[in-house]
Amino acid sequence: MKKFLSLLAGLLLPFLSIAQQVDKGWDERVNEAFKPFSDAVSGFIFSAVNPGAIEAKQLPVVIIILLTGATIFTLYFKFIQFRGFKLAINTVRGKYTDPNEVGEVSHFQALTAALSGTVGLGNIAGVAIAVSLGGPGATFWMILAGLLGMASKFTECTLGVRFRDIGPDGTVYGGPMYYLTKGLKEKGFTKLGKVLAVLFSIMCIGGSFGGGNMFQANQAAQQFNHMVGATSGSAGIIFGMVMAGVVAIVIIGGIKRIGSVTEKVVPFMCGLYVLAAIVILLLNINFLPSAISEIFAGALTAKGMAGGFVGVLVQGFRRAAFSNEAGVGSAAIAHSAVRTNNPASEGIVALLEPFIDTVVVCTMTALVIIITNGDGSIMTYGVKEADGVLATSRAFASTLPWFPYVLTIAVVLFAFSTMLSWSYYGLQSWMYLFGRSKLADYSYKILFCLFVILGSAASLGAVTDFSDAMIFAMVVPNMTGLIILLPVVKKEVNSYIGKIRTGEIKTYK
């Protein structure tokens, strides 16, 4: 660890020296040069059906793929997200877990590690955008998409464990890269599996540096510096240095240390945020029935909202997909490290992820916004992500004046935990492409920490937009593999449930 930190410090010094000399227009010039390429890629990935003058009616094809896949998985596994919910709770608390099983982290640690990559600004800013564009009714469709996404997470995370590799030292290597390669080979699609795995890995690495790192660091730095009144040009660099140092200390320990950190940070940050929401709802309990009524009525009527009924539906579906990433394949990388000999056990645990992320956290945010702002009038049509954070902050602050300070803590924690998870996702993809050597391991982690500082010091919107497009481009290879490997998942879940019923799997708690 000392050697790694010394090497990191040595690389940071010249980097910081250059960053301090950068004039204000540097990031703008990078954006201008990169924007045409970014727009082309983003436009292709997020190409929409029903394009027109009303933005709210545009539904990216990638979202259609995610929703179609989630619906297929829900029907194929006979609504596993509802049938297996109690089993998921029992499994995550260790009732059926043998501590001697193979893996690196517990079911709970794997769940929190994956949750840390999805619970974030999408739950805070994204919901405000959905309500501002689609009205209260968008919340209904957001919840529905979250419930469907539970089946997607179950499917991909079961496969993540089923086709993982375990090194001689017990280190786990898993995720879509492996079930695309090994799983499709079993089905006779060897070449297709290799191509899809490489594509997925490249996109995952790009996404880890941008949306999973730079964007998070930039938003956290802006929120923190705004609250403390830091206006100097070096404020972002200083914040980035601190954040990079903390991230380095955690990620050098691999998934075991990431899991040990996220199992504490994720419950705390979610609890802190949800508690504030509950306080507001209790203080405005008289308005809660009407807010719920608006959600259901708005989902079907959508009078006066941009895009009408279709616009409301689209906004709900889009924000749910962007929030929980069910079907993207990223979570399968974290869940594959779990200690278990039964792949479906982790798939069952994973279905809780969209429920917590979208059905609970996003819904709480939406209810607060609806109650405090009525129909979202505090936000204007076309509100953007950064404005969404401010809109949510104002909604909470209307009842709890001190909430912006809590939000600052939440944003920093959300950003930190997201970076931890995405560093692991990117590293696994990096090592799949370049080998499982210490050089590959350290080179990726050093680059990741450098990008934390870069993201905090400069706003590279075009680069981040490109990386976000890469994250959702992961859907194409991942969904292809999931559909082909559905019979494998069914065999695994039937085996797991059967072992519990017959007593072959013992009860430990």
Task: Report residue 173: phi and psi, to 5°.
Answer: -125, 115
35 part of a folded domain:
no
Query: Could you tell me the pLDDT band of residue 23, with boundaries at 50, 70 and 90?
Result: very low
Task: Report residue 135: phi and psi, to 5°.
Answer: 75, 180
| In contact, 220 and 410? CB cutoff 8 Å | no
343 part of a folded domain:
yes
pLDDT in the model for residue 151 = 94
23 part of a folded domain:
no
| In contact, 315 and 299? CB cutoff 8 Å | no
At 122-159, the pLDDT tens digits run 677 667 777 777 778 888 888 888 899 999 999 999 99
At 89-102, the pLDDT tens digits run 988 887 777 777 77
At 418-465, the pLDDT tens digits run 888 888 899 999 999 998 888 888 899 888 888 888 777 766 666 667
Highest mean pLDDT among 252-266, 324-338, 357-371, 474-488: 474-488
Does the pLDDT of residue 381 top 70, yes or no?
Answer: no
pLDDT in the model for residue 112 = 81
| CA–CA gap between residue 345 and residue 502 (Å, rounded) | 16
pLDDT in the model for residue 48 = 62
| Residue 139 or 198, more confident | 198
Does the pLDDT of residue 164 top 50, yes or no?
Answer: yes
In this structure, how many other beta carbons lie within 10 angstroms of the beta carbon of residue 79? Answer: 13
pLDDT in the model for residue 82 = 92
440 part of a folded domain:
yes
The domain total for the chain is 1
Does the pLDDT of residue 191 top 90, yes or no?
Answer: yes
pLDDT in the model for residue 201 = 93
| In contact, 139 and 131? CB cutoff 8 Å | yes
| Residue 11 or 399, more confident | 399
373 part of a folded domain:
yes
284 part of a folded domain:
yes
CATH number of residue 423's parent domain:
1.20.1740
**Owning domain of residue 158:** 2-18+42-499
Does the pLDDT of residue 478 top 80, yes or no?
Answer: yes
| Bridge pairing between strands 59-60 and 48-49 | antiparallel
pLDDT in the model for residue 449 = 87
Cβ contacts of residue 507 below 8 Å, gap of 6+?
A: 95, 96
Q: Which two tokens stand for residue 187?
A: 């089905």
Cβ contacts of residue 394 below 8 Å, gap of 6+?
A: 378
The mean pLDDT value for 386-410 works out to 71
Query: Could you tell me the pLDDT band of residue 103, with boundaries at 50, 70 and 90?
Result: confident
104 part of a folded domain:
yes
pLDDT in the model for residue 91 = 87
The chain-wide mean pLDDT, for the chain, equals 78
444 part of a folded domain:
yes
